[in-house]
Chain A
Amino acid sequence: MNCLWCHDDIMPDITWLNFWNPFYEPGKICTTCKEGFPIIVDHVCPMCSRPSKNEEVCGDCQRWSNSEAFQGALERNVSVFSYTPIMKDMMAKWKYRGDYELIHMFSEDVRKKFKEAFGKSKATLVPIPLSSSREKERGFNQAKAIAMLLKRPIESVLTRVQDEKQSKKTRQERMEAENPFQLVKEVKGEIILIDDIYTTGMTLHWAAELLKKGGSTKIQSFTLIRS
C-alpha cells in the first residue's frame, strides 16, 4: 500500500486486535504524514469545537443561542481537524482538484472521533448537499464522502436551491439571507449533519433550522475541519 499523501510505501500496522476485526480499515497514510495533520485534541468550545483555553462557550455560539431564528437549532458541532496550511492544501487537492481518494487518509481518525463524540447514538446521518451543477462538475459531494466513512445509514434529505457562492457577504448579510436549502423529506428523531468544514457555522445552522421545523428532535453536526 502507498501513502495517499506522499506516495511512499507503507507497511500496514496489523495487530491481533485488528486482524480479527473485519471492519478494521487502516487510514491510507504513512506515520510521518499523519503527524502533519492537526487533530483537535482538547480545550475547545463545547458547542462548536473552536479552540478555547478554559473550554467556555465562545462568543459566536452565544450569539447563535441568542438569535431568534436559530436558537436551539444546532445543539453542538464536533470537528476532527483544525485548519492549518497543510489542511488547506489537502482541501485544495481534494475538493478543487477533485482527488476523491484523499479522504481515505482520514478514515481511522474520523471514525475514532465520531465514536468518541456520539458513541452508539442512533442518529440519522444527513450530509450537507451541493447544488446539482456543482456536484456534477466535481463528481462527488465531499460531505457525503465523509459520511460514507462512518458506515451508517445516510439520508440525503436536503437539496441546495441556491449557489454555494456566499463568501462575499458579511456575517449579518448571510444571517438575513434566505435559507439556501430545501427539505425533501421530513425526518423524525435525532440527526447528525455532516459537512467538510465549519467556518462561521451558517451553513449548518440553516440546515438544522430546516430539519427542526420538519420535526427532528435533536440535531448535532460533525465536520472534518473546524477553521
Chain B
Amino acid sequence: MNIKNPTENPSNVYAAHLSGKILLRNEIPFTETEIEMLLNQKFLNEIRGIEDSNFGYRCVRCGNQKRYLIGRIPTKTGKQIYCRNCIEMGRVSTFEPLYKWAGPELPLDRLKNPCAWEGQLTVHQKIASDKINEAMTNRTKLLTWAVCGAGKTEMLFRGLTDAISRGDRICLATPRADVVRELVPRFRKAFPEVSITALYGGSPDKDDGCQFVISTTHQLFRYERAFDVMIIDEADAFPFYADASLVYAAKKARKESSSLIFLTATPRKWIKLQSACGFLPTVFVPSRYHGHPLPVPTFPSCYSLKKSLQKDKLPPKINDWIAEKERNNRRFLLFVPSIEMAEQISKLTKYEYVHADDPDRIEKVECFRKGEITALITTTILERGVTFPSIDVAVIDAGHNVFDVAALVQIAGRAGRNAKDPYGDVSFFHQGKSDAMVGAVKMIEMMNNLAKERVK
C-alpha cells in the first residue's frame, strides 16, 4: 500500500481504495457502517448505474448503449434495467447503483530517482523517449509507432521516472492479460520502490492505492478520472480496437488533464489517419533495439495442406521445415488459424498447443519462454507482446482470414528479437497468397527502409 501518514489524515485509508474509482457496493472493501459514514461525509457519492435518455439506456460504468446488451428484469412494479456488456465484473443495474469517491485525492509518494534501469538507449529510442517524456510532462497525446522489438518498454522509463517524481498516478493498459503478466516483472525490476499492481480478470493483485497500475483495458471500467498518465499498449489490438466500450473506458479512466501515449507496432487505419491529419503527434521508431532489420517473411506454398490434414498427415513441406529446425536446435512457434487445427497438428508433431481458453496457457508459455520445450503450436493469441528470445516462426495456412496485416506483422516480429541472434526465419505457409500477406511484407520492408534512411 502507498499511504502517506494514515494517522495524519484517516481518510487516506479510504482514498487508497476508492480514489479515482467507480465501484459497486460489494466491491468496496469496507463495512456497512464505514460506507454510511463516507456517504454522510460526502466523501462517497451514490450515483445511478444506468442512465435513461432519449436515445435509450446507457451503462454508466462501461458506456454500453447497444440495445441487445441492455437487459430487463420484470418486477411487480414494472421493470429493472441492467447492463449485459460488463456483467462479468458484477451487475450494474437500476437497483444496483455505483459509488464514486468525492473526498480528498490520495497523495502519492514523490520518489526521486526511482528508476533502477542502467541500460543505454539507441539513437532511435532516445528520440522517442524524449518525445514521450515531453508528452507526459505537458499532458498531451502521442502515438509511438515502434517496430516489433524496438524496445518500447525502455523508451517509457525516462518519462515514467519524471512522472513518478511528480507524484503522478500512472496506468498502462493493454488488451491482453498475457501482456500484463509479461510487463509487470519488467517494470517492478526497473522501479523497485514504486507500488505497481497488475490487474486482469482473476488477477491476485488488488489496487489499494498503487501509483502505477498495469491493467487489461477491461479492468479500466472500474476507474474514473484517476490517471495523470495513460499509456495504451498495442493500441490497435483486438478487442480494444473492436469494442467501443473499451475506448470509452480508457477515456473515462483518465483525468481531464492527462497525457495519453499510444504504443503500437502496426497502427490500424483510424490511428494512422489521425496521425496523418496532425491530430495525434507521432514519433516513429523504425529499427529494432539491436539495429538489425526486421526479418522479412517468405511465402512457401503448401497447397496440399487441406488434403494432408484430412488424411491426418502433415504436408511434407511443413514436416521438412520442422525437421530442419530440430536438426539445427532451433526453437520455434507454429501459428495456426483455429483451435481444431492446433489440436490436430499437436497430435501429429507431439508438441504442445495453446489457445485463448486453455487453462494451462500461462504455464505452457512460461515453459517455452524458459526454453524447457522446443516448440509451441498456437492460435493468434501469442501474436503480440509476448517475447521469446531466439526463435523461428511459421504460420500454417497464412492466407486464412484470421491473419490480417497487423496480425502477420506482429507474428513476424516474434522472430529475431535477440541481439545475439537477430535473424529469425519467418515462413508463411499458404494455400494461395492473401492480400494481407503481401501487405504485411510491404509494411515490414517499408519500416526496414525507413530505418536505413534514418541511420544515414
Contacts and interface: CB of A to CB of B under 8 A. Distances in A.
Interface of A: 1-2, 7, 93, 97-101, 139-140, 148
Given A2-B68, A7-B68, A148-B74, A101 B84 contact: yes
Nearest to B93: A139
Contacts of B158: none
Given A1-B68, A139-B80, A139-B95, A97 B87 contact: yes
Nearest to A144: B74
Q: What is the size category of the interface that chain B forms with chain A?
A: 10 to 19
Contact of A101 (B71, B88, B93, B96): B71
A98 B80 CA distance: 12
Nearest to B67: A2
A100 B84 CA distance: 9
B68 A100 contact: no
A183 to B, nearest CB: 21
Contacts of B93: 98, 139
11 contacts: A93-B87, A97-B91, A98-B93, A99-B82, A100-B72, A101-B71, A139-B73, A139-B80, A139-B91, A140-B75, A148-B74
Contacts of B72: 100-101
Main secondary structure of the interface of A (DSSP, over half): loop
Interface in B230-287: none
Nearest to A99: B87
Interface string B73-115: 1110000101010011001010110000000000000000000
B82 to A, nearest CB: 7
A99 B95 contact: no
6 cross-chain pairs, A with B, having the tightest CB-CB distances, nearest first: A2-B68, A101-B71, A100-B73, A98-B91, A140-B73, A139-B73
A12 to B, nearest CB: 13
Contact of A98 (B68, B74, B75, B82): B82
A1 B68 CA distance: 8
Contacts of B82: 98-100, 139
Interface of B: 68-69, 71-75, 80, 82, 84, 87-88, 91, 93, 95-96
B84 A99 contact: yes
Contacts of B80: 139
Nearest to A93: B87
A175 B71 CA distance: 38
Q: Which of B73, B75, B95, B96 gathers most chain A CB within 10 Å?
A: B73
A2 B68 CA distance: 7
Contacts of A1: 68
Contacts of B75: 139-140
A97 B276 CA distance: 44
A86 B101 CA distance: 39
Contacts of A100: 71-73, 82
Contacts of A2: 68
Nearest to B66: A2
Contact of A97 (B68, B74, B88): B88
A168 B73 CA distance: 31
Nearest to B90: A97
Nearest to B96: A139
Contacts of A140: 73-75
A101 B91 CA distance: 13
A46 B73 CA distance: 34
Nearest to A3: B68
B60 to A, nearest CB: 17
Given A97-B91, A139-B80, 9 more contacts: A93-B87, A97-B87, A98-B93, A99-B82, A99-B84, A100-B71, A101-B71, A101-B72, A139-B95
Nearest to A98: B91
A93 B91 CA distance: 11
Contacts of A93: 87
A100 B72 CA distance: 7
A169 B80 CA distance: 35
Nearest to B91: A98
B233 to A, nearest CB: 26
Contacts of A97: 87-88, 91
Contacts of B73: 100, 139-140
Contact of A99 (B71, B74, B96): B71
B87 A98 contact: yes
Nearest to B89: A97
B46 to A, nearest CB: 17
A2 B66 CA distance: 11
A97 B89 CA distance: 9
A139 B74 CA distance: 9
Nearest to B84: A99
A97 B83 CA distance: 11
A99 B96 CA distance: 13
A97 B88 CA distance: 7
Nearest to B26: A137
A98 B68 CA distance: 16
A100 B93 CA distance: 12
